[in-house]
Amino acid sequence: MAFLGDRNDGNHNEHGYPDPTASAVIRKLSSEEYRLHKLLKVIFMSCELAGFELEGRITLVDKRTGNKYD
């Protein structure tokens, strides 16, 4: 027998009730992380193809969200 608290799919709170706000935040973060990962991959591949290495840190600012990545 399943209890309400047994749900662990990210769409429900610890009591098993639907939590659409948390689901939306998790989905948004996943989307932002995906975009950042894709961008970093392109930057590193571009450097490699052009015969360069990236030395040091770069700072990125997301124009959509204003989030800063160091």
Domain boundaries, the chain: 4-69
Q: What is the distance between the alpha carbons of residues 19 and 28, in angstroms, rounded to a whole number?
A: 15
* Mean pLDDT, all residues of the chain: 81
- Concatenating the DSSP letter of every residue in 4-68 gives GGG--SSSB-TTS-B-HHHHHHHHHHHHHHHHHHHHHHHHHHHHHHHT----S---EE-TTT--E
At 26-44, the pLDDT tens digits run 777 788 888 898 999 999 9
The pTM score is 0.57
